[in-house]
Amino acid sequence: MYQNSLIDFNPYSCLSAVEVGKHLYWKIGSLQLHGQVFIVSWLVIAALLTISFLGTRNLQRIPEKFQNFMEFVLEFLQDIAKNQIGEHEYRPWVPYIATLFLFILGCNWAGALIPWKLIHLPEGELAAPTNDINTTVALSLLTSLAYFYAGLSKKGLSYFARYIQPTPVLLPINILEDFTKPLSLSFRLFGNVLADELVVSVFTLLIPILIPLPVMILGLFASSIQALIFSTLSAAYIGEAMEGHGEE
């Protein structure tokens, strides 16, 4: 693998071997870990935990200031799950949908707001974890497991009857759909975040003053929309699995 090339692609390797730019890797035995993704991911997780702790450590009956903001965020995330899953079944899935949205939003904004170039690494530079295909595929596979679990926990093995609904002729298409869902989720998030960071980097190199700012602001807006789309589609898939085609 040639890490110094701009784009490294081996047609005989798996999709995760596609790389843009230089990357820092940690080797643990036979495993090779993506250092930048782990560093920024844990920083985002630490920031989310800190904000959650500060916003809930002294709850009041009449919310003020930061607690008021936290309750607004909670209501917003509950609405995402409620609108897609249904009013009677959404509550157990609020933690998962909320975690998806907040983690993706935090990763996207971390790549757009924090000047990672100030931190020097032996290889490459820090960036949003969601601009790495491995991160977005992992999140998409979690959603796949979530909607399979939702369907099986509600209907048992009869959940698989949906593959032959409304006619057995659609069996291959219905099976293929379960593969295209995580692919579309992962590539949409990965492509948009990577494209946004590349555009900002190019503008910063060409015109380093003022001009990149509107592009960065637009990138923050697009990053928020991508987090909303990913979490909304995840909730919709879970709601679809729980509803099913053959439910009486």
Map out the domains of the chain as residue ranges: 7-243
Among 74, 108, 97, CA closest to 232? 97
pLDDT tens-digit profile, the chain (248 residues): 434 444 444 443 444 444 555 666 667 777 777 777 888 899 999 999 999 888 888 878 877 788 888 889 999 999 999 999 988 889 999 999 999 999 999 999 887 776 656 666 666 677 788 988 889 999 999 999 999 999 898 888 888 888 888 788 888 888 888 888 888 889 989 888 888 777 777 776 776 666 667 777 777 888 899 999 999 999 999 998 888 544 44
Q: Is the dihedral of CA 129, 132, 138, 139 positive or negative?
A: positive
The whole-angstrom separation of Cα 234 and Cα 128 is 21
pLDDT for 9: 41
Task: Evaluate whether 130 touches 108 at the Cβ level (below 8 Å).
Answer: yes
Helix spans in the chain (H): 35-56, 65-85, 94-113, 133-155, 171-206, 212-243
